[in-house]
Chain A
Amino acid sequence: NAGVTQTPKFQVLKTGQSMTLQCAQDMNHNSMYWYRQDPGMGLRLIYYSASEGTTDKGEVPNGYNVSRLNKREFSLRLESAAPSQTSVYFCASSGDRGVVRAFFGQGTRLTVV
C-alpha cells in the first residue's frame, strides 16, 4: 500500500527556473494539501484541494500554482524559482469522514541557488 507518493525526492534549481512537484495518493481521499517545512517555522500550508477540480490558497501561496489533475493527483508548480523557496515540500491527503487525519508523503527537498 503506497499511500502518498511524491516525486522527485531531491531537486536543485537555478533562480528563475521552473519545475513541477508531483504527488499521488491511492487512498481515495477527497482532500489533498501542499505544505512547506522550514527550520523553526513548522509546516505551513501552501495550497489545498477539497475535491477534484477545486483548489484554494493556504497561508503562503505566493510564487506557487497547483493543479488537481484528478482525484489521485495534486501537483505544485514553481514558475520562476527564488532562493526563498528553498525548503522541504510535503504533500498530504485526508479523508472527510471519521478521524480526519493527514497522511504525508516522504517530502521533496528543493534547493534554489
Chain B
Amino acid sequence: GDSVVQTEGQVLPSEGDSLIVNCSYETTQYPSLFWYVQYPGEGPQLHLKAMKANDKGRNKGFEAMYRKETTSFHLEKDSVQESDSAVYFCALSDLGAGGSYIPTFGRGTSLIVHP
C-alpha cells in the first residue's frame, strides 16, 4: 500500500534559521502531494500542495517541490519564525482500490522555533 515517511520527532531551530523537513513517499500510482499543518487543539489544515511532478507548492514562505525521480516532497523555508511552530504532516492522496481518494499521512514533525 501507499506510505509516507517524514522527519520524525521534533525539529528545534532558532528564529531566522533555515529549515528542511524531509518527506519521501511510496505508491504505485500518480498521487497529489500535500503538507498539512496542525496547531494545538485544532484539526490539520492544508498548508501547501503539488498536483504533479515538478510542481512547487508555496505558502507563507514555505516551499516543497514534487520530485518524482526521488519520490520526495521536502518542506523548506529560508528563515523560520516563532509563529511557524506547529506540527507538520506530509501526505499523499491517491485512488484506492474502491475508486475513492484516500489520504495517507506521515507521522508528523513537531516544529518548535525558539525566539
Binding site for B on A (CB under 8 A): 4, 30-31, 33, 35, 40-43, 45, 48, 50-51, 54, 56, 58, 90, 92, 94, 96, 99-102, 104-107
Q: What chain A residues lie within 8 Å of B105 (beta carbons)? A: 35, 42-43
**Is the CB of B98 closer than 8 A to any CB of chain A?**
yes
Q: What chain B residues lie within 8 Å of A30 (beta carbons)? A: 100
Binding site for A on B (CB under 8 A): 8-9, 32, 34, 36, 41-46, 49, 51, 89, 91, 93, 96, 98-108
- Pick the contact of A99 from B41, B45, B49, B106 — CB < 8 Å? B49
Q: What chain A residues lie within 8 Å of B106 (beta carbons)? A: 42
Q: Are A54 and B103 in contact (CB under 8 A)?
A: no
CA distance A33 to B45 in the complex (A): 15
Across the A-B interface, give the 4 residue pairs with the lowest CB-CB distance, nearest first: A104-B43, A50-B100, A42-B107, A43-B105
Known: A50-B98, A54-B98. A106 touches B93 (CB 8 A): no
CA distance A88 to B108 in the complex (A): 15
